[in-house]
Amino acid sequence: MNNGKKIKGLAVVFGAFLLLTGCGAKEQSGSETAPVQQFETEMDENLIAVGFSQVGAESDWRAANTESIQSALTPENGFYLIYEDAQQKQENQFKAIRNFILQEVDYIVLSPIVENGWDTVLQEAKDAGIPVILVDRKAQVDEDLYTCWIGADFESEGRRAGEWLEQYLKEQGRADEEINIVTLQGTLDSSAQLGRTEGFAEVMAEHDNWNMLEMRDADFTQAKGQEVMESLLQKYDDIDVVVSENDNMAFGAVDAIQEAGRSCGPDGEITILSFDAVRAVFDAMLSGEINVSFECNPLHGPKLQEIIKTLENGGSVDKIQYMEETYFDTDMDLEELQKTRAY
């Protein structure tokens, strides 16, 4: 990418910033002009401008993901990052992308909240000649509307959860018992929800004695996880297993279970399977509340940085790039493992 394009792009960023902050000729207080000064400084440095539309701040995983990307795409590393938190709303992501296009950023990084509905806005980015890199979640669009995607294999995480349960029930001598399961689902139509639900369902199909009592959307948040679990506990008194599609909803579920006077974890009545393996779930496993968490690696920053640098140097990148991941359960030395946990 030549310098001319970058300077032109950031000059427009400068103009658009005035527009967005309403900092025009009429209102010019010192506090409003300060950020513009900062932009001018960045322009001189000839940084790669990246607009990043993040899903929100709904979970510990998300916080670690944001932090990883922000700490990789820094001015020291050659980037000017414009970060937009969509607060879990797709319309906000549309607005952010359109602003990035207006600002003529060099790259758009998008973590799509849901998989559908992206054709128009990503076509607009393509028409503007701005490469789009998808991180974490996928978008159901033509492959030529994005450069590449980095993220986890959610379906295999779901399958791993099913296989773990199969093995666990066998060890408990309960392989042939009727097992009643409920699922706290993540945001419906998000890749993590779709993949984890599908992967678990594949293993479930091999077990006639596993009954899925109900699957309910709890939007990946702790508060919703608690609320939905409370209502499930009122409705069913025979839940054996909770599959929670992330750790934060599992924390909410533990609260609901304990408040209802019930118990969970390896020594309790209800087995809890979760996803993400954030640092806090190690505490919940160490205190015997949650049985297992399937890792999902949020540290996309370094890979993203490498991808953009490769593209800048005219290189090509793999279209699909999976992160490595494992799982952790209460049979492991969690105290030791937690010490080296990066998120």
Q: Among candidates 126, 160, 134, which has minimal Cα distance to 321?
A: 134
Which among 18-26, 55-63, 159-167, 305-313 is the span making contact with ligand GYE, rule CB under 6 A? Answer: 55-63
**Residue span binding ligand GYE (CB under 6 A) among the ranges 1-9, 13-21, 54-62, 323-331:** 54-62
- How big is the site for ligand GYE, counted in residues (CB under 6 A)? 13
Token representation of residue 263 = 């118990």
Interacting residues with ligand GYE between 102 and 161 (CB under 6 A): 136-137
Residue 241: partners with Cβ closer than 8 Å, 6 or more residues away: 165, 179, 180, 181, 182, 270, 271, 272, 273
Choose, by CB under 6 A, the member of 53, 59, 147, 197 that binds ligand GYE: 59
The reply on whether position 58 binds ligand GYE by CB under 6 A is: yes
Cα 69 from Cα 170, distance rounded (Å): 41
Taking the complex as a whole, the smallest distance from the CB of residue 250 to ligand GYE amounts, in Å, to 10
Q: Which is nearer to ligand GYE, 61 or 328 (CB)?
A: 61
DSSP H or E run through 92: helix 90-102
Count CB neighbours of 342 within 10 A.
9
Residues 258-297 contacting ligand GYE, CB under 6 A? 275-276, 296
Q: In the bound complex, what is the minimum distance in angstroms from residue 140's beta carbon to ligand GYE? A: 15
328 φ, ψ (degrees, to nearest 5):
-135, 130
Maximum alpha-carbon separation in the chain: 76
Structure tokens belonging to residue 194: 């779709």
Nearer to ligand GYE, 6 or 196 (CB): 196
Name 56's Cβ contacts closer than 8 Å, sequence gap at least 6.
62, 85, 86, 87, 88, 113
Using an 8 Å Cβ cutoff, are 67 and 75 in contact?
Answer: no
Q: Which 214-233 residues touch ligand GYE, going by CB under 6 A?
A: 220
- The distance of closest approach from Cβ of residue 13 to ligand GYE in the complex, given in angstroms and rounded to an integer, is 28
Question: What x-and-dash track marks residues 180-209 binding ligand GYE by CB under 6 A?
Answer: ------------x-----------------
Binding interface with ligand GYE (CB under 6 A): 58-59, 61-62, 136-137, 192, 220, 246, 248, 275-276, 296
